Amino acid sequence: MIAMASTTFKGIQTLVNQGAEIEAVAQKLGSWYSYAADIKQAEKEAESPGVFKKLFDGNTVEQQALNSVIAKKKLEEQEKQIRELIVWAYGVETYQEMIMLRRKIKAQREEAIYKQRKRKRMILDSVIIMFAVGLGATLILGVLRLVGAM
């Protein structure tokens, strides 16, 4: 996902440097901010992974931490450069307006998408736990029947 954000960032740089209209830049900015939000949300979710991810994720804690730090630093640098590009090309007012709108959109996005994703993860975890409990109970009952038959 960081690669997609970086590619989009390069597109933003190109558009601004070519003197593109703010509408064309805004579309790319929207994509970049979406990737950035997804990366930040993935970082939050990695702090408290679900049961399934704990069991089957091949990354070590160190790998996850390193990937998270690298992505965070890269996003911070890109965001700083985006701010400088927009202020330089379109003015401080445009940047401030964009930030206010971004906060509003971010809140709406978190409300809709991230809560739904969290709900799905909780459901998946519950299903896995119920399956494990059912399997464990079946095994215990099987052993008790086997012992009782002897």
- Using CA atoms, how far apart are residues 131 and 47, in angstroms rounded to an integer? 25
- The predicted model scores a pTM of 0.59
Give the amino acid at 132: A
Residue 114's contacts (CB-CB under 8 Å, 6 or more residues apart) are 41
Question: Phi and psi (nearest 5°) for 49?
Answer: -70, 155
Q: pLDDT 10s per residue in the chain (150 long)?
A: 788 888 888 888 888 888 878 788 888 888 888 888 888 877 777 776 665 555 566 666 677 778 888 888 999 999 999 899 889 888 899 889 888 888 887 788 778 877 888 888 889 889 999 999 999 999 999 998 888 876
